[in-house]
Amino acid sequence: MQQLTTPLLPLLDADSVKDSALLGALSRVAPVLVPQDLVSALPANIAYLVLAAPALSYDAAADLFDAGAEAIVTADTQLIQQFDAAVAATRFIYLSASGAPPAPETLNAVAGAVITLPTASAIAGAAQLVQATADGLQAKTSGKSLFVLAPSGVPSVDDVKALAKLSASLIAPSSVLSLADEGQQQQGKLDIADAFLAPLTSDRTDGLFATTVVSAAGSASLGLVYSSPLSIRKSILTGSAHYQSRNRGLWHKGESSGATQQVVSIRQDCDSDALQFVVRQSRGTSASGFCHLENRESCFSSATGLAKLEATLKQRQQSAPAGSYTARLFSDASLLGAKLREEAAELADASNADKQHVAFEAADLLYFALTKCVSAGIGLEEIEASLDAKAKKVSRRKGDAKPAFAEQQKAAEAKAKTAPAPTPAAQQPKDADAPIKIQSYRYEELSASQRKELLKRPALRTEQVMEICRPILGAVKQRGDAALLELTEKFDRAKLQTPVRLPPFVNDEVMAKIKPEVKVAIDIAYDNIWKFHKAQKTTFGNKRAADVGAAGTVEANEAPEDGVLEVETMPGVVCRRFARPIQSVGLYVPGGSAVLPSTALMLGVPAQVARCPTVVIATPPRPDGSISPEVLYCASKVNASAILCAGGAQAVAAMAYGTETCPKVDKIVGPGNQFVTAAKMLVQNETDAIVSIDMPAGPSEVLVIADSSADPAFVASDLLSQAEHGPDSQVVLVGIALTATELQAIEDEVDRQARALPRVEVVRQAIDKSVTVIVPDRATALEWSNAYAPEHLILQTASPEELVKLVTNAGSVFVGAWSPESCGDYMSGTNHSLPTAAYAKSYSGVNVGTFEKCITSQALTKQGLRGFGQNVIDLAMCEGLQAHAMAVKIRLDRMA
């Protein structure tokens, strides 16, 4: 039962049930009490309690609850005992007419009590009885409701006030109630507004009451205002919200703008010194809602979550461009129905172990479900009302799924999902014993549209993920470390005292946890990565930094051997390009249950070579709050400035905006899941964040080009090394004129090796979405690969170096049979943080340049300026920029 913070509970009779004006006013300030025989006459959407008839049966009581009764008032303790204790304690009000406080065991078992007095005049003398019953209910602290019913006579406002001081409310017959404008109250009646105002108190000198205004849809707070007795009376009487402006007096909200508010309910808080107005907000002509600012529903902030989604959908229903996706959803019931079924199935299939995936799929389903509701003319308010109605039911049903859906679920659990079109000639069953086999196609048999379809990656639902990330980013931006710690506890289950660790990161205890062979591997990897990336610095230009311009170098910016490009474009005109480190960078290293020291090296070493002064490594902590010792060792080797013990969008936010303990960075680099990627994309577009990113990221991918010279076992191992990353990993085999026998040999190896892997089920899911394309020749193989633009390209062919010359789009290339992708991931020296999702067409992988800016300079002598000075003047005058021309002319004149 709802907490009844109302001083008055009206008892309806046959006449008042028909009085819509009176019912409307009453329902704004309280639920109503209705005799059992009048329940059917009540209009919809009225909150009510039922005064039970004698000898009410269990089934009849259950029917009343199921129909929507908040509570049943009855003197029948045997009826109460027939119900579950939880139902009794929240839905039954005990009716006492004995003149003595009910027994403690009775009061403990129910949600409240009603004391019946003979007449209203008896209220003043019943204080002791009321107090004893209130004490038995522990009404001041338990929230249980206590009512006093006086069936005859007219109670006074003083009676209401006296009962409120005893933690009790008055039940008054509707026949003795009235409602009128200020100064027009009826004699011999209890005015509803006066009764409601009776217990209210204010500690303000102006006597106003703080009032929070809440939307009926989603319960979002719209703003804080003040109310007076007059404004409250007007709101109850008219049903349109009135407040008391501290400057302008009585304020009819929206009277001039049209942004009026329909009052759903007015409630007092538990201390009767503040109010809550629940309203339906109308949109005005000059303002979108409660706030005077345009496109702001709330004075506190823009709407978020479901409330924002509902507002957006309602707006797009009216204004979405013809042919847009949203317009199609609203106009095509079949499309919307199909998307609902699709998203419901994806949520059902999502693993509980991946909480973010479950949240992501649930968000998708909610989006399409709310689209369905908006298209039907209903919104969150109606949905919540339906949920509340369901919550009031006490009858329980078995709850089994409908047979058709139960069978579908059984089938889904027994079989893997079927592959997308184009469908291979022989569709393989996806049960546990079925071969783990990549679907194969022949290039010549594919139409142009089918080839285009096979080149596509699964669509990334960036907009939906961004909607999830926005409130996370906002929380960290506004509340810093406090929000960061809360989110880390929520998502990573780690309760930390501080989110940042400072050097030193390793000690004897940490090093003792690292296997000796792993330390050796890390050291070798570090050396190789350093060599390759240091070479990028020394070959950056045609001159040594120490030999360019003024003698020597500034250690913080460059080493003497670093390269600088210097070109004399004309006599006396020397142009240079030189690199400078980005001053503060953030490196995202996926972590938590995973141990990924290689990523810490791949990001940290180039930043170290570039001489970035501040390097923050962000990595999710384990549930106990620790960071893997291997990552700590790598952080120490690359001289990281700090470790941010956080992951996901919250880590990106901390680095982008800075917190009390986490430095703000100028660039964020590193791979992550869809939430990390979405957060990176969001912050780079915030003008006040002023932060850049390395590249967008998607699931890991590999494309292997193999001909008849390739070893089937090698090819299979390279394909599987990517497939084990996750079910969305992209695995592509391009076979150059492979025969059926040669292809079968590779497929057999894929099946055999996959079954020996501990992550075989993950591999199976990735392989189910993967493809083999048999092409006629090497040129077509490279044409396909360049169109696909893979993260990793492996060439297992004869003369592979010749094919490298033809590569235009790839993150990194692995040349020949003895160059497995794993070596690039860990040890060769090239970087493994590479563009995915076809971004290799426009992005490079991480390199030293990722952590630098290229600055150019030009130094002109008098000879150089004389050489083209007049040409500069001519172009400047052509463009109408006379000051540009004058800057040159004044110098030429000085030389004359």
**CATH number of the domain encompassing residue 774:** 3.40.50.1980
How far is CA 174 from each of CA 115, 151, 387, rounded to the nearest angstrom?
A: 18, 10, 30
Question: Is the pLDDT confidence value at 327 over 90?
Answer: no
76 within 8 A of 95, measured Cβ to Cβ: no
Q: Rounded mean pLDDT of 692-706?
A: 92
Considering 140-144, 219-223, 396-400, 766-770, the range whose residues carry the highest mean pLDDT is 766-770
Q: Rounded mean pLDDT of 213-220?
A: 85
How far is CA 31 from each of CA 10, 47, 49, 158, 871, rounded to the nearest angstrom?
A: 8, 5, 7, 22, 86
Same domain, 517 and 576: yes
Q: Which of 48-62, 334-348, 463-477, 712-726 bottoms out in mean pLDDT, i.e. has the lowest? A: 334-348
- Spacing of C-alpha 483 from chain mean position: 14
Q: Is the peptide bond prior to 422 cis by the omega test (within 30 degrees of 0)?
A: yes
Q: Which of 365-369, 474-478, 651-655 bottoms out in mean pLDDT, i.e. has the lowest? A: 365-369
Q: What share of the chain is helix, strand, coil (3-state, %, to 5)?
A: 45, 20, 40
Residue 421 confidence class, pLDDT cut points 50, 70, 90: very low
**Helices (H), ranges, 189-274:** 192-197, 229-238
Residue 625 lies inside a defined structural domain of this protein: yes
Residue-number span of the structural domain to which 876 is assigned: 861-895
Q: Tokens 């479950």 appear where? A: 358
Same domain, 220 and 356: no
Q: What is the CA radius of gyration of the chain?
A: 37
Q: What percent of the chain has pLDDT over 90?
A: 67
Reported as a single tens digit per residue, the pLDDT across 282-317 is: 876 655 567 777 667 788 876 778 877 887 888 788
176 within 8 A of 199, measured Cβ to Cβ: no
Task: Look at strands 221-227 and 209-215 and give their pairing.
Answer: antiparallel
- List the structure tokens of 426: 């022989």
pLDDT for the residue 31: 93
Reported as a single tens digit per residue, the pLDDT across 19-72 is: 888 899 999 999 999 999 999 999 888 899 999 998 899 999 999 999 999 999
Same domain, 730 and 811: yes
pLDDT for the residue 644: 98
Q: Which of 222-226, 386-390, 598-602, 675-679 bottoms out in mean pLDDT, i.e. has the lowest? A: 386-390
pLDDT for the residue 735: 97
- Spacing of C-alpha 172 from chain mean position: 48
Question: Is the pLDDT confidence value at 326 over 90?
Answer: no
Same domain, 239 and 371: no
Please tell me which residue, 572 or 465, carries the higher pLDDT value. Answer: 572
Residue 627 lies inside a defined structural domain of this protein: yes
Select from 31, 12, 419 the least CA-distant residue to 177. Answer: 12
Same domain, 727 and 602: no
pLDDT for the residue 172: 93
Q: Rounded mean pLDDT of 520-545?
A: 96
Residue 3 lies inside a defined structural domain of this protein: no
Question: Is the pLDDT confidence value at 426 over 60?
Answer: no
Q: Which of 238-242, 351-355, 581-585 bottoms out in mean pLDDT, i.e. has the lowest? A: 351-355
Residue 331 lies inside a defined structural domain of this protein: yes
pLDDT for the residue 99: 82
pLDDT for the residue 5: 64
Write the CB contacts of 834 (distance below 8 Å, at least 6 apart in sequence).
791, 792, 811, 812, 840, 845, 846
Question: Is the pLDDT confidence value at 413 over 70?
Answer: no
Please tell me which residue, 650 or 363, carries the higher pLDDT value. Answer: 650
Q: Rounded mean pLDDT of 475-500?
A: 94
Last residue of a domain, one of 151, 166, 192: 192
Same domain, 725 and 623: no
Q: Rounded mean pLDDT of 478-485?
A: 95
* Ramachandran category for residue 654: left, alpha or beta (phi over 0 → left; psi -120 to 50 → alpha): alpha
Is residue 791 part of the annotated active site? The answer reads yes
pLDDT for the residue 603: 98
For the chain, what is the domain count?
6
Q: Which of 3-17, 405-419, 516-530, 641-655 bottoms out in mean pLDDT, i.e. has the lowest? A: 405-419
Question: Is the pLDDT confidence value at 416 over 50?
Answer: no
pLDDT for the residue 299: 85
Residue 886 lies inside a defined structural domain of this protein: yes
pLDDT for the residue 594: 62
Same domain, 66 and 81: yes
Residue 101 lies inside a defined structural domain of this protein: yes
pLDDT for the residue 118: 84
Residue 458 lies inside a defined structural domain of this protein: no
Residue 460 lies inside a defined structural domain of this protein: no
Same domain, 705 and 834: yes
* Ramachandran category for residue 394: left, alpha or beta (phi over 0 → left; psi -120 to 50 → alpha): alpha
Residue 861 confidence class, pLDDT cut points 50, 70, 90: very high
Same domain, 231 and 335: no
Give the count of beta carbons closer than 10 Å to the beta carbon of residue 880.
Answer: 8
Last residue of a domain, one of 275, 303, 331: 303
Question: Is the pLDDT confidence value at 429 over 50?
Answer: no
Write the CB contacts of 95 (distance below 8 Å, at least 6 apart in sequence).
51, 52, 73, 74, 75, 113, 114, 116
Q: Considering 791, 821, 832, 852, which one is annotated as catalytic?
A: 791
Same domain, 826 and 890: no
Q: Rounded mean pLDDT of 157-175?
A: 93
- List the structure tokens of 141: 């602290």
How far is CA 64 from each of CA 40, 56, 860, rounded to the nearest angstrom?
A: 10, 10, 93
List 574's β-bridge partners, or say none: 568, 859
Q: Considering 792, 821, 832, 852, which one is annotated as catalytic?
A: 792
Q: Which of 183-187, 342-346, 403-407, 679-683 bottoms out in mean pLDDT, i.e. has the lowest? A: 403-407
Select from 476, 519, 441 the least CA-distant residue to 774. Answer: 441
**Helices (H), ranges, 660-739:** 674-684, 712-723
789 within 8 A of 745, measured Cβ to Cβ: no
Name the residue type at position 611: R
pLDDT for the residue 526: 98
Same domain, 383 and 487: no
638 within 8 A of 615, measured Cβ to Cβ: yes
Residue 461 confidence class, pLDDT cut points 50, 70, 90: low
Last residue of a domain, one of 132, 162, 192: 192
222 within 8 A of 281, measured Cβ to Cβ: yes
Instruction: Report angle CA 416, 418, 420 to the nearest 5 degrees.
Output: 140
Name the residue type at position 334: S
Residue 480 confidence class, pLDDT cut points 50, 70, 90: very high
Packing angle of the helix pair 648-657, 481-492 (nearest 10 deg): 160
Is residue 792 part of the annotated active site? The answer reads yes
Same domain, 119 and 44: yes
Question: Is the pLDDT confidence value at 403 over 80?
Answer: no
pLDDT for the residue 396: 66
pLDDT for the residue 419: 38
| Mean pLDDT, the chain, whole residue set | 90
User: Tell me, what CATH number does 172's domain have?
Assistant: 3.20.20.70
Residue 896 confidence class, pLDDT cut points 50, 70, 90: confident
Q: Tokens 């996806």 appear where? A: 430
Packing angle of the helix pair 648-657, 462-479 (nearest 10 deg): 50
Q: Which of 159-163, 383-387, 407-411, 760-764 bottoms out in mean pLDDT, i.e. has the lowest? A: 407-411
487 within 8 A of 645, measured Cβ to Cβ: no
315 within 8 A of 303, measured Cβ to Cβ: no
Question: Is the pLDDT confidence value at 695 over 50?
Answer: yes
User: Tell me, what CATH number does 343's domain have?
Assistant: 1.10.287.1080
List 148's β-bridge partners, or say none: 115, 170
pLDDT for the residue 425: 38
pLDDT for the residue 398: 57
Residue 860 confidence class, pLDDT cut points 50, 70, 90: very high
Query: 297: part of which helix (H) or strand (E)?
Result: none
Considering 219-223, 370-374, 391-395, 613-617, the range whose residues carry the highest mean pLDDT is 613-617
718 within 8 A of 745, measured Cβ to Cβ: no
Q: What burial class does residue 161 get, using C-beta atoms within 10 Å of its C-beta: 0-12 exposed, 13-18 middle, 19+ buried? A: middle
Name the residue type at position 83: F
Considering 217-221, 374-378, 710-714, 768-772, the range whose residues carry the highest mean pLDDT is 710-714
Packing angle of the helix pair 462-479, 674-684 (nearest 10 deg): 70
Reported as a single tens digit per residue, the pLDDT across 734-743 is: 999 999 999 9
Instruction: Report the C-alpha gap between 175 and 181 in whole angstroms.
Output: 19
Residue 2 confidence class, pLDDT cut points 50, 70, 90: very low
Instruction: Report the C-alpha gap between 629 and 635 in whole angstroms.
Output: 10
In eight-state DSSP terms, residue 155 is: -
Q: What percent of the chain has pLDDT over 70?
A: 93
